[in-house]
Every structure is written in structure tokens, then in C-alpha cells.
Structure 1
């Protein structure tokens, strides 16, 4: 006797998993790798896994691998045990993290096989991440062409010279461009890893991790790596220290032209413009804009003045001009910046 069609069992579609699978995070190691570039981000994922497992949820499965496996000596001298990349073939990788090195130029010259692996592997991973000068390896693999990119501030010029197609963001702590994330130097990899954890696991888990590691969660990509005045000092532009201090007290003025600044520096306008650009790497007009931007950032973080008042105090004149400057340099509007960074609940809109 045959079963009638209505009595035949129907196919039951498989149920989706109740929770997402464990995310495999692959840290790429190589000789002279920067230890904190690797371990800082790795510790964030380890702490996030503890927090997730405490909630009965899967976390991350970190793995440190190198081209040939075995012991890899970091730039600081510590040897790391690594898995060979070939041994991971066929395994699903969620995130590839490429640390940097203080000797990145020499690393890059001998890393053609690793660069080839990165070029292939990035296509199957959900996202690819660089810390500090790890951006050089991503760039060599063609993963950053035409993209806005962050790296250690001291290596921006070298990165731009080697890879002219990149759009170097010299100020950002980290940059997110599609499936690729890049960060500034060393500890900025912790900030980037916290942002990845927040995207994956939510704000509460990321905040819990930040508390455990005693770091700030609120330092997303828009915040600058360092102050303009500190940068000018490191570049040997101390001859303009007095001018910069004067500018800091006079940003609200509307006549901060080359002629005005040259007079303050007791130089001819032409010679001042030439020497200032040579010493600081910025034109006088760009320096005024960035100093105003920095002052506005501090007021948005610390004061209760409204945005219009801050724009006026910092010499932008009107909010729209300040908004354009914030978007150009930080990729965020002033009001959004305040929501991210304000240090108290009393900040005005």
C-alpha cells in the first residue's frame, strides 16, 4: 500500500543556530613584529570572550599564525609560538589582524609571500584589520587602494611615498572603510579592537572590557592622535612656539592672515610662509584651521557652550564653517563629536 501524497512527511528546514558561532580572529605574526601591536588587540578579544561566555554566549577564538609556523621573534625580543598559515587552510576566519613593526621597511622588503597570502585570504574573511604600520602590508596586498587609511603618525610620509593611491588620515585613531579597518600607532590597536568588539557584541560588553583593561572606551576613530602643538614640537618647529601660543589666545580673530602671522613672527610674509611650511609641514592657513579645530574639540568635550558659541570663540564664525572643517578632518559633525566625547551630561547641544 502506498502512502497518499497528503500523508508523506514534509521536509523541515534546518533551524538557524540560536547564537552566532565563535568568531576566529587570526593574528598574523612575522619576524620583528611589534609585540604590543599584537598583544594589545589580542587581550581585548580575550577579555571580550570572558564577558560573552559569562552570558552563555560564544566569544572569539584567537590564533597567532605566521607563514611557516614555529617561533617568531618580536621586535622587543620575545619569541612567540605560532601556527603555520597553511595549517589553517579551509578554516573559516572572521577577522584577520595584521600588526605592525618598528622595522616595517625591512619587513616589507622580505614579505612578498606573506603579502600574497594576505591578498588571497582577505577575500574570504569578514574583515581585515591592521595595527600601526601593519597598514604597509595591507597596502602592499592592494587592500587599501583608494581608501582612507590610518597608521602611526611618524610613518605617514613613508606610507604615502610607497603607496601614493592611499588617502592617509594623519589624525585618526582608527579608520573603518568597508571590510578594512586600519589604526594608528601601538595602543591605538586597543581602541580599534574595542570598536570591533562593540560592533560584534554591543556597547555593554565593550564597556565591560574597557573597564577590565583600565582603558577608555570613548576614543573612537574621529579623535586626533595628538595635539597640533605637540606635533610641531616633535618636528623641530620650536622657533614658532611663541607664535602658536599667541594663536591659541587669539583664534577668535578674523584677520589671522599670512601677513598678520608674519608680523607676529617678525618675518616678511613670503619668508614666513616658506619657512613655516618647511618647519611644520603645514601652510599657515592650514595650521590656523587645525588649531581652531583642536580648540573646538576641547570645548565640545569639556564645556557647556552651545555649538554656535564654540564656532564663534574658535574663529570659525558660524557653525556651518566649523561643521565643514570637522567633516574634512575628522569625518564627523560637531554635534555628533560632542555626543561621543562629552565628559559630562551637562553639555549643551
Structure 2
């Protein structure tokens, strides 16, 4: 690939960035270069505050240039995330630059809470987007014009790419490489980095929804804890309401107000989460897991699991069970593909 045809990737780094938000995608692009035998990707790191170095995790990164010095011709522009995403409005010059660049680049996107910087620049209006599940509701509040998808690993919307938390930046980078260089080279990058080419399911596989729906109100929090400890019990609204001395109608109304979902939905999330742990940690047959986790049978379990985790129990066990022969933790198919590594 000649110099004029290199794919220029610029990663913008906020103060106190998550180091893996930067190094994860960066290593994907570098590995693609190595496997291709040429520098297909020309990468530059810049800070959002114009500094020539930035703290990222336990590292101090020396940057290539100030963002204002980057010439035209950027192909892909990404903004890394930071725990200090609430400072996105502290950098108006960067936001203005981002708005201008958004009209010039082929692709623009974010990793994790970098989405808040895109929102500050007005780039998420009328678009679908995602971020780390813990901050999805906050992103939806601060940018009501965006359609925030809290369970997605990454979202593509007309040249705008956003990813979930931290390691999801690797998933996003692999998607971008696949667009540029094709499936085969991307599969080899994933294998080399010992990651999934396409991660099964969404953020729900990490108990995202369950943790996000824990209430603060005492009675509701109490009954949620009891649900989590008793997933095989009768968890009907009538039984749960009786435990906290409320009528079923008032209990359902308060639960929805506090947790953001209905009691039935929370129960299903809790039971699916218990199934998920059983699939990871045991080799019990699905019928036994269904009984232990409060489902009427394997078919009911499968439907609920697919609805909440976006993958089947069998696929989930294949990828995540500690003792499964093709688990990425122990087996030869760490990229999530049904073929061995290339020599």
C-alpha cells in the first residue's frame, strides 16, 4: 500500500484516559500492519487539551502532535474514554475542531465514555450510539436526541461508530479493520491477540442490565436482594409484594419507578444471570440448570436467555465455560472461529 493510500487513524486522548481504550485499538491496527507486511495504517495520537503528553492509566503517553496541527486527510477519527467524561464540556476548542473534522473524515467514533465528547460536539443528535453500560442512561439524559443502545458492544450508524466499555474498543477496531482489509486478515488479527473476532451477545453477558437496575429504595432493594438469593423460588408479584407488606399494584408501581423495569423483567434478568454463571462454572445439563434457576424447563430457559443475552446457552457455554474444550480460556479457538490458528 503506497504512502498516499495509507489509512490515517487519529486517536484523541482525554486527560486521565483509560489506557486500554487507546492501546487496545492501537494494537489491533499495528497487528494488521504486521500481518499485511506493510504499513496499511498510519496512526497518530493527540490529546483533547492540546498537550504534548497525557496520563493514561499508570502510563504517560508522548503524543504525536496537537490536534490543531493534524492536516486534512484523516480517514478514521476516534475519541478514547476516561473516568472524567464529565469534563467533556471543558474543551470547547476541541469540540469545535471535532465538529469540523466530522464533515471531512470517512469514519468518526469513540471508545467507552469517549461518546460523551462526541455528544458535546453535537455529533450524536439523531444517531444510534452506545457507551459503557454503567453510563448509558447518563449519556441518554445529556443527549436526548441520541438513541442510546445500552446493551450493544458497538454501534455503527452512517459513518459514526461508538463502542461499549474499555475492551469493546478492540471489538470496534476489528470491525473497522474488517471493513478495510477483509475477513481473513481480521480473523488472523483476532487470533493473534487471543480475542473474539465477533464477541457473542451484548453487554448483558456481563450482568450489565442486572447491575444497572439495582434500586436505592429500601423495600425494593431488600426484595431485589431476596430475588437474587432465591431464583428458584416462587417469584410472582403477589409473593414479592407480600414480603414487603404492599399490595401487588403498589409494589409493581414502586418497583418500576425505582428500578426502571417491571418485577417480572428483573426476575428474568436474575434467573438468566444465574444460568449464565452455571454455564460458566459447571457442566450440568440444561434441564438441571433450568430447575435450579427457576425456569419451567429447558425451552423456557433458552427463550429467556436468547432474549436477554442475545446468544444461545450452548453458544455461551462454548465460549465461556472454564472446562469447555473450545473455551477461549483453555482451547485452541481463542478468536471464536471453528478452525485452528494458521501456522
TM-score between the two structures when normalised by the length of structure 1: 0.71
Can you list the C-alpha shifts for 1:144-185, whole angstroms capped at 9, x where unaligned? 112222111222232122111122222222222221111111
Give, in angstroms, the shift of residue 66 of structure 1: 3.1
Out of 229, 244, 269, the residue aligned to residue 228 of structure 2 is 244
Give, in angstroms, the shift of residue 71 of structure 1: 2.2
- Could you tell me which residue of structure 2 aligns to residue 269 of structure 1? 248
Distance change (3 Å), C-alpha of 1:200 and 1:69 = same
Kindly indicate whether residue 264 of structure 2 is the aligned counterpart of residue 285 of structure 1: yes
Kindly indicate whether residue 166 of structure 2 is the aligned counterpart of residue 186 of structure 1: yes
Distance change (3 Å), C-alpha of 1:314 and 1:273 = farther
Out of 66, 79, 90, the residue aligned to residue 47 of structure 2 is 66
- Could you tell me which residue of structure 1 aligns to residue 111 of structure 2? 131
- Could you tell me which residue of structure 2 aligns to residue 11 of structure 1? none
Out of 117, 128, 131, the residue aligned to residue 148 of structure 1 is 128
Give, in angstroms, the shift of residue 272 of structure 1: 2.7
Kindly indicate whether residue 86 of structure 2 is the aligned counterpart of residue 86 of structure 1: no
- Could you tell me which residue of structure 2 aligns to residue 6 of structure 1? none
Unaligned stretches of 5+ residues in structure 1: 1-16
- Could you tell me which residue of structure 2 aligns to residue 258 of structure 1? 237
- Could you tell me which residue of structure 1 aligns to residue 331 of structure 2? none
Give, in angstroms, the shift of residue 59 of structure 1: 2.4
Can you list the C-alpha shifts for 1:240-265, whole angstroms capped at 9, x where unaligned? 23323544x37xx9xx7533543466
Number of equivalenced pairs: 309
Give, in angstroms, the shift of residue 271 of structure 1: 4.3
Are the equivalent residues in 2 in contact too, given 1:101–1:134 (CA < 8 A)?
yes
Structure 2 CA distance for aligned equivalents of residues 39 and 235 of structure 1: 35
- Could you tell me which residue of structure 2 aligns to residue 14 of structure 1? none
Q: How does 1:326-337 map to 2 (within 5 A)?
A: 326=307
Out of 77, 83, 100, the residue aligned to residue 96 of structure 1 is 77
Distance change (3 Å), C-alpha of 1:119 and 1:33 = same
- Could you tell me which residue of structure 2 aligns to residue 111 of structure 1? 91
Distance change (3 Å), C-alpha of 1:297 and 1:146 = farther
Distance change (3 Å), C-alpha of 1:187 and 1:342 = same
Are the equivalent residues in 1 in contact too, given 2:223–2:244 (CA < 8 A)?
no
Question: Helix, strand or coil for the counterpart of 2:204?
Answer: coil
Give, in angstroms, the shift of residue 276 of structure 1: 3.0
Moved more, 212-221 or 151-160: 212-221
Structure 1 CA distance for aligned equivalents of residues 58 and 28 of structure 2: 22
Structure 1 CA distance for aligned equivalents of residues 178 and 284 of structure 2: 27
Are the equivalent residues in 1 in contact too, given 2:10–2:46 (CA < 8 A)?
yes
Structure with larger Rg? 1
Out of 22, 27, 35, the residue aligned to residue 6 of structure 2 is 22
Out of 20, 24, 40, the residue aligned to residue 36 of structure 1 is 20
Structure 2 CA distance for aligned equivalents of residues 114 and 220 of structure 1: 35
Are the equivalent residues in 2 in contact too, given 1:292–1:315 (CA < 8 A)?
no
Are the equivalent residues in 2 in contact too, given 1:240–1:265 (CA < 8 A)?
no
Structure 1 CA distance for aligned equivalents of residues 160 and 188 of structure 2: 25
Structure 1 CA distance for aligned equivalents of residues 247 and 188 of structure 2: 56
Unaligned stretches of 5+ residues in structure 2: 327-343
Structure 2 CA distance for aligned equivalents of residues 68 and 269 of structure 1: 53
Give, in angstroms, the shift of residue 230 of structure 1: 5.4
